A and B are shown apart, each in its own frame.
Chain A
Amino acid sequence: MSTFYFIAFLSIFFSILVISAKNPVHSILYLVLTFFTFTIHYILLNAQFLAVVNFIVYMGAILVLFLYTLMLINLNKEAEPVKPFMVKIAAVFGGGILAVALVSSLKLLGVSDPVVLKNPDLGLVKNLGKVLFNEFLLPFEISSVLLLSAMVGAVLLATKEKEPKATI
């Protein structure tokens, strides 16, 4: 249990650093660390497959892409745009809604069992696969179609019209 609390503390600590870091590249790196603590959480839950997938997909691919984009943009302090007043209003509004949602969900909070799984083998690949491909086959396939359409959309957005070739 103490491991869990330590890791949970680290998760929260790094996630605060993510939003408070001045340099966007630093905040991405903190995000990487945050995800790493999530991976440890999964391992603590004996969900090895989810842990490794979280590790590969989130830490190894998605955040690398984030970092990649930020490096290309090369934001620095001077280039940071001044936020207009409307954006601030919108941020306050959004934050307020989030607070309401949090309070209402906390009101419904009940005491659950301690973090002990009833079936410790639930996170193993074999069981996960059986559950996914029997009970949840339709949602699984639908989500894959969703990903495919997102991919096609991204390709369409990224494809520019061919510029005329530079002539000598």
Chain B
Amino acid sequence: MSFDEIKELLLARFGNDVIIGEERNGLQPALLIRTESIADVCLELRDNPSTYFDLLNCLSGIDYGTEANKFGVVYHLTSIPYHLSITLKVSVENNRDELHLPAVPTIAHVYATADWHEREAYDLVGIYFEGHPDLRRILLPDDWEGYPLRKDYIAAEYYKGIKIDYPVESNNPAEKITYKTPFQPNPKYTEALKRYEQKIADAAVEDMVLNMGPQHPSTHGVLRLELITDGEIVKELIPHMGYLHRCFEKHAESLTYQQTIPFTDRMDYLSSMTNAHAWVMGVERMLGIDQDIPKRIEYIRVLVSELNRISSHLIAIGTYGIDIGAFTPFLWCFRDREHIMGMLEWASGSRMLYNYIWVGGLFYDLPVGFEERCREFVDYFKPKMAELNQLLTDNQIFISRTANVGILPLDVAINYGCTGPVLRGSGLRYDLRRIDGYSVYPELDFEVPIGKGAMGTTGDCWDRYKVRVDEIEQSLYIIEQCLDRLQKELKRTPDFDPRAKLPRKLTPKAQDYYFRAEGSKGELGYYFIHNNERSEVPFRVKARGPSYNNLSVVPAITKGVMIADVIAIIGSIDFVLGEVDR
């Protein structure tokens, strides 16, 4: 179904005034929807048998600038059955008075993904979503003042009476003079916070409120989970995050595209290559140079990304072992990961945050002998995986701890926007490397492993774990194919320069573009808005971290489980807090 047919469908269903405009000039056409009917439109698109837009990829709140006095929300929808994508936009006028935030109807009841995305938009851009069940701040502290991603935001000088010591003196005079005075926000905006506080206070009387994290060994970083438990049974789980929030999006809109690459590394810091790869591909497509990239460069990118994917999955498997109580697999995984780290360090000079993939090329060609060493690693690593499977995957205690635990049904997974191994663990063969076929993946042969419920029910923790184990195998296969090409027809030549195609100026045309790629944890998306043809700095960037969406499903599948199962479930989701908090 084409863009026009979808438009016709909506017009026929809701009348002529539902669509107030359309944008066709960019790479991705968008429909401008009347603000009041966005929820109905989304529901219709989701449930109509000829569209089935069942996945909300990304929801971005946008401040269109101080002159425009306009705020907008952009929805990227995907129809998994029909392989369709569409962009919807709504916008509201607002005079930036903090007592009257721009208001947009919520779509959290249509897509559960939207719950956290709307909270994020409220938190960072200050858009109020009417009817949202729990509109509290999510990444920033509850008592934060202002909305950092607004264009008129001024960094606070004091936080709770403590002077904030900025490392670099700002060269923007506006930032030096303003003192923010505490203000009384509209009670409507703190209503959800009060409701939440009341809930915790009530729960503390009848049940036990157990605070897990941010310093807890198995929350995999600085995640804080508030558990309302009845003895060992968890009644409700409330995640709190933001302890690692750096506001990547603020960085991205202050720096050029090239300068932002190191910051993408720090999002999912366990798989920096795939992050940078996605970013770079997005920028290249906006520039229109994605077809000019030499094949050798693309193959090297895929090679290092897959190596990085293996190392990321190794951590997922190893730490999952620890969560279940098996310590030895963890160190085996780290031992093998060390080889990958060594190789990537050899190529890029850095062990975790590589900054290796650049727009239009690479930081440097692979070092001489890399391919041989990589092949040695593959040969060494295959038996090690078999050994690991014997120790952990097929262990009876491990199976009884993970099978039939934390079952994530497919419809719930899609509704919560889960992607990557979490979605595949629920039994859907959905891998963007195959679906979108970006880079040189169409030329490569690999399987997409899915959860089959071999030990219990499809979508349980064991399935998610097993998908990662199988993906390591497939990644090894991809690496072997890349090495074949790189050692034969795409062999290193003396005059090969990986920086030859680097553009002088990274100035794309004014457009907005959502690019998604398969990161180690799932669909990693970047939504770029570029409005100044002469600037190298994007107007707005929204990063859709797969971990953020995968984590949002945890409260839904931890009702009524035991505390030990909570650990098993959050371990099987495999999130990285650097990406959740960004």
Let me know if chains A and B touch directly in the complex, using CB atoms closer than 8 Å: yes
Binding site for B on A (CB under 8 A): 72, 165-166, 168
Counting CB contacts under 8 A, is B294 at the interface? no
Interface contact tally, CB-CB below 8 A = 9
- The smallest C-beta distance from A3 to any residue of chain B, in angstroms, reads 45
Complex contacts, B559 vs chain A, CB 8 Å: 166, 168
Residue of A nearest to B560 (CB): A166
Instruction: Give chain A's interface secondary structure class.
Output: loop
Q: How far is the CB of B573 from chain A (nearest CB, A)?
A: 15
**Hey, which chain A residues are within 8 Å of B556, CB to CB?**
168
A168 — which chain B residues lie within 8 A by C-beta?
409, 412, 556-557, 559
A168–B560 alpha-carbon span in the complex (Å): 10
9 A–B contacts, CB within 8 A, in A order: A72-B231, A165-B560, A166-B559, A166-B560, A168-B409, A168-B412, A168-B556, A168-B557, A168-B559
Q: Which B-chain residue is minimally distant from A72 (CB atoms)?
A: B231
Chain A residues with CB under 8 A of B557: 168
Contact with A along B546-562 (1 / 0, CB 8 A): 00000000001101100
- B82 → chain A, closest Cβ, in Å? 26
| Alpha-carbon distance A166/B412, docked complex (angstroms) | 14
Given A72-B231, A165-B560, 7 more pairs with CB closer than 8 A:
A166-B559, A166-B560, A168-B409, A168-B412, A168-B556, A168-B557, A168-B559
Ranked 6 nearest A-B pairs via Cβ: A166-B560, A166-B559, A168-B556, A168-B412, A168-B557, A168-B409
The residue on B at minimum CB distance from A165 is: B560
In the complex, A119→B556 CA distance in Å? Answer: 70
Which residue of chain B lies nearest to A167 when distances are taken between CB atoms in the complex?
B559
Minimum distance in angstroms from A126 CB to a CB of chain B? 43
Residues of B within 8 A of A72 (CB): 231
Q: CA–CA, A57 to B415, complex, Å?
A: 55
Task: Please indicate the chain B residues that have their CB under 8 angstroms from the CB of A165 in the complex.
Answer: 560
Complex alpha-carbon distance, A72 and B232, angstroms: 11
Q: State the Cβ distance, B233 to closest chain A Cβ, in Å.
A: 10
Nearest residue (CB) in B for A74 is: B208
Chain A residues within 8 Å of B412, by CB = 168
Q: How far does the alpha carbon of A168 sit from the alpha carbon of B412 in the complex, in Å?
A: 8
A-contacting residues, B402-418, CB 8 Å = 409, 412
User: Which chain B residues (556-574) contact chain A, with CB distance < 8 Å?
Assistant: 556-557, 559-560
Interfacial chain B residues near A166, Cβ < 8 Å: 559-560
Which residues of A have CB within 8 Å of B409? 168
Distance of B362 from chain A, by nearest CB (Å): 45
